[in-house]
Structure 1
Amino acid sequence: MAKRDYYEILGVGRDADQSSIKSAYRKLAVKYHPDKNQGNAEAEELFKEASEAYEVLSDDEKRQVYDQHGHAGLGGNFGGGFEWSDFSHASDFQDIFGNIF
């Protein structure tokens, strides 16, 4: 199942400031908190989604990675958002493996 867009989950626009993100999260957290919805698996899942979205969007660095790469940039199948464009040690591999091949 594909993950929902974090902005959609919180009901904010991509240009939302931190105050708006926090406010939207708090409303959802209160509404879907497990203590208020005991035994309601759907509410529990919505609470977890909102918490995950807030964790990413409230952190400027994580938000930037998410905005650029979506969910895949946050850990998916590519080692936690590692950007190959930032890889500056290619010459090290040449030094290490050059004699083998």
Structure 2
Amino acid sequence: MPNYYEILEVSTEATHEEIRKAFRHLALKCHPDKNKNSEESKQKFMKIVEAYEVLSDDQAKKNYDNSTFQRKSGHMPRWTPPADFSTIYSYEEIKRRYRPSNIGGGMWDISDKASLGMWKATIILFACLGAVVIYILLFS
């Protein structure tokens, strides 16, 4: 996470007015229109705008300050989620990770077979009930 205070060249105790002045000064200095054909100034300008958007909003600044404090003090573990969430939440991945190693097929195989049998029984039951209803409607 970038240090927005360093980007705007202000202290962590800077007031809204100091943050605004620093933003205006740096934005004018690094504006892409002033520095034509400079990719570096465009990137720096975007960082300055991002820093100002966070530090000028009270709630966003509070969240930013809390997260950087927690990270510096070691109270917040750094965890980066994987790009593909389907591997975390897929049923097959959960089965693979938590399959009991001491049981041959494990409870997963039993439940899969049982649920397949349950579905077959349910379909047969509804088919029979449907046939009975049709018989009653036609011949009563």
Return the TM-score normalized by structure 1: 0.66
* CA shift digits 1:52-71 (9 cap, x unpaired): 0000000000000000013x
Query: Is 1:44 the counterpart of 2:42 in the alignment?
Result: yes
- What letter is aligned with 1:25? F
Which of 9, 19, 22 is residue 20 of structure 2 equivalent to?
Answer: 22
Q: Which ranges of structure 2 fall in alignment gaps of 5 or more residues?
A: 72-79, 82-140
**Structure 1 stretches lacking a partner, 5+ long:** 79-101
In the TM superposition, residue 38 of structure 1 has moved relative to its aligned partner by: 1.3
**1:43 is paired with a residue of what secondary structure?**
helix
| Structure 1 residue 23 displacement after superposition | 0.2
* RMSD over equivalenced CA pairs, Å: 1.9
User: In structure 2, what is the Cα distance between the partners aligned to 1:12 and 1:28?
Assistant: 11
Which of the two has greater helix per residue? 2
Higher RCO (Cα < 8 Å, 6 or more apart): 1
Aligned residues: 72
Question: Which structure has the greater CA radius of gyration?
Answer: 2
Q: Percent identity?
A: 44
Provide the rounded CA distance (Å) in 1 between the counterparts of 2:2 and 2:25: 18
CA distance in 1, matches of 2:32, 2:60: 26
TM-score, reference length from structure 2: 0.48
Q: Which amino acid aligns with 1:5?
A: N
Residue 66 of structure 1: aligned partner: 64
